[in-house]
Amino acid sequence: MAGIRSVALPSPRRPDLPAREVSEGRHGDRTRLWYENVLRWPTVPGVPPRLVVGVRFDVLDVPAEAGRAALERLGGAAEGFPVAVQGDRMRLLIAAGGADELPGLLEWLDWGGLDLDLRALGEGRLMDAPAPWDAGAGPDAPRGHPAAGRPGDGRPDSPQGAAVWLRPPEPGREAEASLPTLSAMDTRSPRGVGDGPPDLVRLISTVATQIHRVRLRRSGAGAAAQGVGQPLAFS
C-alpha cells in the first residue's frame, strides 16, 4: 500500500545478565564437561559446577595450614593423589567409602572425642569443582596451579574464593588408583612395592596430628599475646 514503510522489529533478546555472571556460566559449562568427558566424574550444573562425592572418590576436608604441613610430613608417601584448596580449606581426595571409616579410625588412633577440625565428605555430598586450567591446553601445559592456596591470584578467570587444584587428577589414567585407601599398605604400583596409593590410616593420623599442633601453636601464641603465664612486671 502506498505510503506505508516496513519497520524492522527487534529480534527477541535474552534478559541482560552481568558480564561476570555470563563469563562464569560459560566457564562453568566448560569445567563441568571436562570432568564428565575426560575423567568420567559425575557433576551437578551450577556456578560453580560441583563434583558428586561418594561415587568415584570421598573427601577429607581439613584446614589448609594443617593439610600442607601433613603433606610435607608425609613426603613421597603422599604423592600422586589429587588435592584441592579453597580459601583456608584443603580437600584431600581419598578412595570412595573412606569417609565412613573416619570415626572408627580416629577412635583407633586415640583421636576420638577431640574436637578436631577434620571432616569427611562421602556419599550424597558435593564439592566445588576446581577449574581444570589445563583443559584445552597442549601436552606441555604446566601442571599445578601457580596460585593454589590463594584462589583468584595469578589467574584472571578464577574468581576470588574459587576452588583450585594443588595437585590435579591426571587425565588419561584412572584417578581412583592413586587415592588413599585402607588396603594401601605395601601395595604395588607399576613402579614397585610400596609405590602405590598412600595408606589411609597414615594419612589420617598425620593430618590429625598436624591439626592438633596448629591449634596448640595458635593457643600458645594467643596466651603469650595476652600475657598469660608471664611474670608480673613491677616498676
pTM higher than the cut 0.95: no
Q: Is residue 161 helix, strand or coil?
A: coil
pLDDT band at 134 (very low <50, low <70, confident <90, very high): low
Instruction: Please name the amino acid found at residue 99.
Output: A
Given a cut of 50, whether residue 43 has pLDDT beyond it is: yes
Q: What is the pLDDT of residues 1-12, one digit of tens each?
A: 555 555 454 444
Q: Identify the three-state secondary structure at position 119.
A: strand
Reported as a single tens digit per residue, the pLDDT across 153-169 is 334 344 568 999 999 99
With contact defined as beta carbons under 8 Å apart, do 5 and 11 qualify?
Answer: no
Which residue type, as a one-letter code, is found at position 20?
R
Mean pLDDT of the chain: 76
- HSE of 55, CA atoms in CB hemisphere, 13 A: 14
Contact between residue 198 and residue 74 where contact means Cβ atoms under 8 Å apart: yes
H helix or E strand, kind and range, residue 52: strand 50-52
pLDDT for 157:
46
pLDDT digits (tens, 9 = 90+) for 46-72: 989 999 999 999 999 999 999 999 999
Q: What is the mean pLDDT of residues 114-132?
A: 93
